[in-house]
Amino acid sequence: SLTTGIVGLPNVGKSTLFNAITQAGAEMANYPFCTIEPNVGIVSVPDKRLDKLTEMYHPKKTIPTTFEFTDIAGLVKGASKGEGLGNQFLANIRQVDAISHVVRCFDDKNITHVSGKIDPIDDIETINLELILADMEQINKRLDRAEKLAKQKEKQAVIEFSALQKLKDAFDEGKPARHVALTDEEEIAVKPFNFLTKKPVLYVANISEDELLAPDDNVYVQAVKKYAEKDGSEVVVISARIESEIAELEGEEKKAFLLDLGLDTSGLDRLIAKSYQLLGLATYFTAGEKEVRAWTFRKGTKAPQAAGIIHSDFERGFIRAEIVSFDDLVAAGSELAAKEQGRLRLEGKDYIMQDGDVVNFRFNV
Ligand code: GDP
């Protein structure tokens, strides 16, 4: 499944946030089928539609879909040169699909900052530079060989060399790979490099608990938002400390605590929602008397592959999908009523799944 890596300088609140994540997902971890690494936290994706479907179907159980966070602690200045086990951390980042970059936006004289002052932009640039340097090294390892092959007019090599040169120029200017315009062919050619700076980034501004109600008054948050806008990235403002308290609560208790804080959703839930967006993910549902369940798919997935997310047999023996959109189902009031109103669609193997589809897959075994 897809995962987002939590990175950031030391003492910015990563562990506090990650603890909140594992706490929130503690229940999930009890599922016998998932053995998870200590640095991976699995959380359920909050979805109001799931509550509505549960009301309609009265199932024995309701299962939300999940999302993974990987804690990548230890990234420091000089990581790309192998300092502080740097290379290992960079290798870990290579495995994730997106990056949640935690930035310290709280003042607390009791908690030291690695560079001695609170300066979120300087922090962000320190980490981003390490990522760029790591990518640069990848290029340097390959460039001579790519040039040699390109000179022999080998078509693939010409494309690769041209892409690597464009990227190298960008890195020299301190720009990440995700800002470099490449042709479709060039994109394919550089895919195996899995460049770190190609991954989408979400900045997580960690503020003090007493600033939660007016986060935009925080000058550090303002600076991060401005930076992110230029970067084409998004920002989520949280207080990691409060998140770890929220994560210990569930249901009504959690709602009451949030209300008390004057919030309507937890920062973690906002972080999950934004990460989901960032990764181009969507949700379909299966609903019946036994179980109502949410499933994650990548936008653009066709019906048989979406069925395969449940079980590979569903994909192999796919016949068709019976689909009603969540909105149509709710408007009709029941599956039967939706069918009578002609809202139940029969879709074939070329159907592209849509967010909110409520599905019944038909398949041969
Ligand atoms: P990491 O090194 O990035 O993993 O940072 P930690 O999560 O260990 O946090 C470093 C210190 O900052 C700890 O003492 C935390 O309690 C503190 N801290 C983290 N988040 C907050 C916050 O939202 N407000 C305040 N005041 N302190 C925090």
**Cα–Cα–Cα angle for 341, 296, 340, nearest 5°?**
10
Q: How far apart are CA 159 and CA 188, in angstroms?
A: 9
In a domain, 290, yes or no: no
Among the listed residues 211, 302, 301, 306, the one whose alpha carbon sits nearest the alpha carbon of residue 261: 211
Asked if residue 360 has its Cβ within 6 Å of ligand 1, the reply is: no
In a domain, 151, yes or no: yes
pLDDT at residue 115 in the model: 73
Atom of ligand 1 nearest to the CA of 239: 23
pLDDT at residue 84 in the model: 52
**Is 12 flagged in the annotation as binding?**
yes
pLDDT at residue 28 in the model: 57
Residues of the chain below pLDDT 50: 32
The residue out of 244, 278, 312 marking a domain boundary is 278
The residue out of 170, 193, 216 marking a domain boundary is 193
DSSP state of 352: B
Phi-psi region of 338 (alpha: psi -120 to 50; beta: other; left: phi over 0): alpha
Asked if residue 162 has its Cβ within 6 Å of ligand 1, the reply is: no
Among the listed residues 113, 119, 112, the one whose alpha carbon sits nearest the alpha carbon of residue 223: 119
Which pTM does this prediction carry?
0.88
Q: How far apart are CA 106 and CA 99, in angstroms?
A: 21
Residues 17 and 31 in one domain: yes
Q: Which domain holds residue 117?
A: 3-47+65-125+199-278
pLDDT at residue 85 in the model: 56
| 228 alpha carbon – ligand 1 mean position (Å) | 22
Q: How far apart are CA 15 and CA 74, in angstroms?
A: 11
Residues 147 and 263 in one domain: no
The owner of tokens 């002052």 is 117
Among the listed residues 5, 21, 136, the one whose alpha carbon sits nearest the alpha carbon of residue 74: 5
Q: How far apart are CA 94 and CA 197, in angstroms?
A: 10
pLDDT at residue 27 in the model: 60
CA 210 vs CA 214, 271, 361: distances in Å: 9, 19, 49
The residue out of 144, 171, 193 marking a domain boundary is 193
**Is 11 flagged in the annotation as binding?**
yes
Cα 326 to the chain's mean position, in Å?
24
Please say whether the beta carbons of 314 and 361 come within 8 A.
Answer: yes
Joined tokens for residue 285: 């549902």
Strand partners, 302: 352
Provide the Cα torsion 344, 346, 350, 354; round to 10°. Answer: 10
Provide the Cα torsion 238, 242, 244, 245; round to 10°. Answer: -150
The owner of tokens 């690695």 is 114
Residues 351 and 310 in one domain: yes
Alpha helices in the chain (DSSP H): 14-24, 48-57, 86-95, 120-151, 155-172, 184-190, 219-231, 240-246, 251-261, 267-278, 303-310, 312-316, 326-332, 335-340
In a domain, 285, yes or no: no
Q: Nearest residue CA, atom 20 of ligand 1?
A: 13
The owner of tokens 């590979």 is 312
In a domain, 332, yes or no: yes
pLDDT at residue 336 in the model: 94
Residues 308 and 357 in one domain: yes
Residues 114 and 235 in one domain: yes
Asked if residue 108 has its Cβ within 6 Å of ligand 1, the reply is: yes
The owner of tokens 């490099």 is 193
| DSSP string for 307-320 | HHHH-HHHHHTEEE
pLDDT at residue 78 in the model: 75
ipTM for the complex?
A: 0.95
Asked if residue 291 has its Cβ within 6 Å of ligand 1, the reply is: no
Residue of 7, 12, 16 best suited for mutating to test ligand 1, as the one with most atoms within 8 Å of CB? 16
**Is 76 flagged in the annotation as binding?**
no
pLDDT at residue 35 in the model: 55
Strand partners, 44: 66
**Is 13 flagged in the annotation as binding?**
yes
State the chain's maximal CA–CA distance in angstroms.
Answer: 69
CATH number (domain holding residue 88): 3.40.50.300
Residues 232 and 321 in one domain: no
Residues 19 and 97 in one domain: yes
In a domain, 353, yes or no: yes
Q: Nearest residue CA, atom 9 of ligand 1?
A: 13
Residues 140 and 181 in one domain: yes
Strands 66-71 and 40-44 come out as: antiparallel
